[in-house]
Structure 1
Amino acid sequence: MRTICFYFQVHQPLRIKPYRFFDIGADHYYWDDYSNKSIIRKVAQKCYLPMNALLLDLIHHYNGKFKVAFSISGVCLDQFESYAPDVLESFKRLVDTGHVELLNETDAHSLSSLISKTEFQRMVNLHRDKIKKHFNGYEPKVFRNTELIYSDKIGAMIAEMGFEGMLTEGAKHILGWKSPNFVYENSIDPKLKILLRNFQLSDDIAFRFSNRTWSDYPLTTEKFVTWINAFPKEQQVLNLFMDYETFGEHQWAETGIFEFMKALPNAVFKYTDFGFSTPTGVVREGTPVAKINVPIPISWADEERDLTAWLGNDLQNEAFTKLYEMESRVAKIEDPDIQRDWNYLQTSDHFYYMCTKFFSDGAVHSYFSHYDTPYDAFINYMNVLSDFILRVKRKEEETTVISD
């Protein structure tokens, strides 16, 4: 039986409050608690709670034949714990069914895999521990890096950490003529199986569902199963990876997105030879057809499927470099506030807000940013980072005095 693998990314950053130059050295708390709580509660009502309830009903209705996977960032879990414990409980109920898989990622949804193996491993272990804590000792077997960022070397690091599989983008410039609808393996360590997102069908749901100018609008379950039935029989897995906020937040309830998802399993079971699996099920049961060669990192962002959404201009690179210059110094400091802020300052969204891309992808970046311009995002972040560096220096001086 061929299979559909649904994976949903669940992430909300901790947004930084307006932080002026004159706050440097005077105000050491950076986070906009009011906005963060308001956004979590809004998305909870529009997406997390209704969609979790729908998925739970589907799992029960089909006696576990319907399966999905989630990657919930650590920074999002922290906010659920503080602002939306009802959402956290609803995810626990899903996982308790035994038909929902949780994936490991970096705790702060960071870009650490691009710059520091040590910090990357620390972030992965932090997230692994957090998943264990919240979900009754659950241990993920498959890894999903921030924004599906992947390269051969990143995959080799993940294999070294004991994971069985990893998710990434089925980017055209990597695949060429090959299909994403197979299991592949890491080119350095073949033990690691690689699942590639079918971006065409994933984006039909995530981005084009409510677009009335789209030639295939409206998207119905009948149309969708016709498309997947057209795949050659040897293509065994369809990976549909998307933001969980697709449901109710990016695609409002009025678009019919919930009804589409509710009807999809029945249409798949009735009219196709597909079933549903989780990523671990796919990597254990599927046979890799080839190695996938990705010498330069890819992601699922924008048309280029590269890193330019986060590290594509001088502003982003200056902030990124300045932050990670602090790694070895922060590692020696045991202060919990310093460690908390170090983690949260690594969240990739801070760099995404600084993106100066225009044309087709510019509107997407503007939609997700709460800043008026990328330059405002950069100035605000660098002000905060300047204060953070002062705090680290002060802690180092205190430690020196004590040791003397």
Structure 2
Amino acid sequence: MIWANFLHFYQPPTQKKIWVDRITEESYRRVLKGLLDHPAARVTLNINGVLLDLWEEFGHKDVIEMVGQLLDRGQIELTGSAKFHPLLPTIPEDEIKRQIELNAVTLKKYFGDYQPKGFFPPEMAYDSVVAKVAKEMGFSWIIAEELSYPGKVAYDRIYQDQETGITLFFRERETSYKILSGQLGTDRLFLEALGARVWKNEYLLTAMDGETFGHHRPGMDRALMELLSLEAVPTVLISELPEKFPQVEKVSPRPSTWALMEKDLEKKVPFARWDDPDNEIHKTQWELTELAIKTVRNSKDPGKSREMLDRAIHSDQYWWASARPWWSLEMIERGAFELKETISMVPAAADEIKQKAKDLYFSIITTGFAWQREGRVEELAKVEDEEIRMHTDSALPGLPKEEIEKMIKHLEDEMEEVTRNREFERAALLRDRIKELDNYVNQK
């Protein structure tokens, strides 16, 4: 077995400096430094162009330089993507192309003539239009969710889209969940989970948010490097897989995202966390989004509103309005405000259109407050949170006691290190995670 691991680095254009700084320090810088310190570890990365710009703006040029060093070594590859992270299946085709082109220009700015071979659609949001555009723009492969495949994925072959011919790589869902949730936090647990597959001629393809390692899961950045350095499971770049697995199978994938759940497939709402027909806020958000796109595109001289629209259609605002279980009225408001302001900056936009945008903005915010006041957010989040826990810490009590204790030791070592550096907030996060794991040990 060989392992192709994919990590996604991204922060929204509206993200505050304090959070970019914190996540960069807790996660991105640690992961990249870990890769530099472990030259045998190879990873496919997506770094959306907006994050590269934020790194430059907020004084993290050393992180950009680390990416360049890893590229020069051939230790990583970068994928193409959409610069400001919109949910591609929900926007017009020429807007998809524009976002991809903006991202390509940004990669060229920081890394010269580097040409990505693969394409990562934000949120891993796949449909036939996204596949077609990716193929037309010169990408040879695209990554998609395992549930997009209408059957059971065989990891001893390569898949190609029946319609476009673009190569498809399907994320292995279960193993990805187990790694990001900390269930496979040691080399022994990882190898035991793979079992006899380690000796088979197949590949493991995992894909996860980069922020998981060190930010959402303190200490997991070190655990990741331990796994990526295992001699028993050599790591490769995704682009290297086709030459190692010559068997090709044609397939017609279903629309999907990496947050897709089986119940969403049954209801035929693959993008439910961003565009749920039963979510009143989502409906209004998308009405405002479509109004902004239409107003800018219909203007002969959109002025600053063109660049404002590029930034304003990022996917986060819809995600945080899902309450499945994630909810942030601040992120919802900020996204709606940017869309409203985009419309207000179109010089020739009619007064009634600008008023319509204000009304939609007001409706989004007041509905959000009502959901909080009436307990709607808690109701939705409770149901979803219970399902998500099936994929995260729910399996930890069943792990061997000595392996959980080994995970705790990793965290304790890091807590001592950050305490010496007077990073007390970070130490508190590590302490809380140690307490969680201690509870599992005590259940033994």
Match of 2:283 in 1: 317
Distance 2:51 2:301 in 1: 23
Give the alignment of 1:93-132 within 5 angstroms.
93-132=69-108
- CA deviation vs aligned residue, 1:205-242 (integer Å, no higher than 9, x gap): 112x0xxxxxxx56321221233242286652211110
Q: Which amino acid aligns with 1:7?
A: F
Match of 1:346 in 2: 313
- CA deviation vs aligned residue, 1:323-357 (integer Å, no higher than 9, x gap): 23333542456666423321111110011111133
Q: Which amino acid aligns with 1:350?
A: Q
**2:119 match: secondary structure:** strand
Match of 2:186 in 1: 220
Match of 1:13 in 2: 12
Distance 1:378 1:102 in 2: 30
Distance 1:238 1:107 in 2: 28
Displacement after TM superposition at 1:166 (Å): 0.4
Distance 2:127 2:316 in 1: 20
Residue pair 1:6, 1:68 contacting (<8 A) in 2 also: yes
Match of 2:395 in 1: none
- CA deviation vs aligned residue, 1:33-72 (integer Å, no higher than 9, x gap): xx6110011111111112211101111xx3xxx3111111
Which of 154, 165, 179 is the matching residue for 2:154? 179
Q: Which amino acid aligns with 1:260?
A: A
Query: Quick one: structure 1 residues 287 and 110, their matched pair in 2 at CA, closer, same or farther if it must change by over 3 Å?
Result: same
Answer yes or no: is 1:155 the counterpart of 2:121.
Answer: no
TM-score (norm 1): 0.77
- CA deviation vs aligned residue, 1:129-167 (integer Å, no higher than 9, x gap): 111111121111110101111123321221122211000
**1:389 match: secondary structure:** helix
Query: Quick one: structure 1 residues 199 and 180, their matched pair in 2 at CA, closer, same or farther if it must change by over 3 Å?
Result: farther
Answer yes or no: is 1:392 the counterpart of 2:367.
Answer: no
Q: Which runs of 5 or more structure 2 residues have no equivalent in the other structure?
A: 265-269, 352-444
**1:69 match: secondary structure:** strand
Distance 1:381 1:169 in 2: 26
- CA deviation vs aligned residue, 1:349-388 (integer Å, no higher than 9, x gap): 011111133xxxx1xx14xx4x3xxxx6545543443332
Identity %, equivalent residues: 22
Distance 1:234 1:393 in 2: 62
Residue pair 1:104, 1:128 contacting (<8 A) in 2 also: yes
Match of 1:193 in 2: 167
Aligned residues: 341
Which of 226, 250, 265 is the matching residue for 1:263? 226
Query: Quick one: structure 1 residues 380 and 57, their matched pair in 2 at CA, closer, same or farther if it must change by over 3 Å?
Result: closer
- CA deviation vs aligned residue, 1:99-127 (integer Å, no higher than 9, x gap): 21000001111123333111101111111
Query: Quick one: structure 1 residues 381 and 49, their matched pair in 2 at CA, closer, same or farther if it must change by over 3 Å?
Result: closer
Match of 1:240 in 2: 206
Distance 2:31 2:304 in 1: 34
Which of 20, 25, 28 is the matching residue for 1:45? 25
Q: Which amino acid aligns with 2:235?
A: F
Answer yes or no: is 1:303 the counterpart of 2:261.
Answer: yes
Could you say which structure has the greater relative contact order, defined with CA pairs below 8 angstroms and 6 or more residues apart?
1
Q: Which amino acid aligns with 1:39?
A: W
Q: Which amino acid aligns with 2:52?
A: L
Residue pair 2:88, 2:122 contacting (<8 A) in 1 also: no
Distance 1:79 1:140 in 2: 21
Q: Which amino acid aligns with 1:307?
A: F
Residue pair 2:45, 2:79 contacting (<8 A) in 1 also: yes
Query: Quick one: structure 1 residues 180 and 13, their matched pair in 2 at CA, closer, same or farther if it must change by over 3 Å?
Result: farther
Which of 217, 238, 242 is the matching residue for 1:279? 238
Structure number with higher helix proportion: 2
Distance 1:93 1:381 in 2: 35
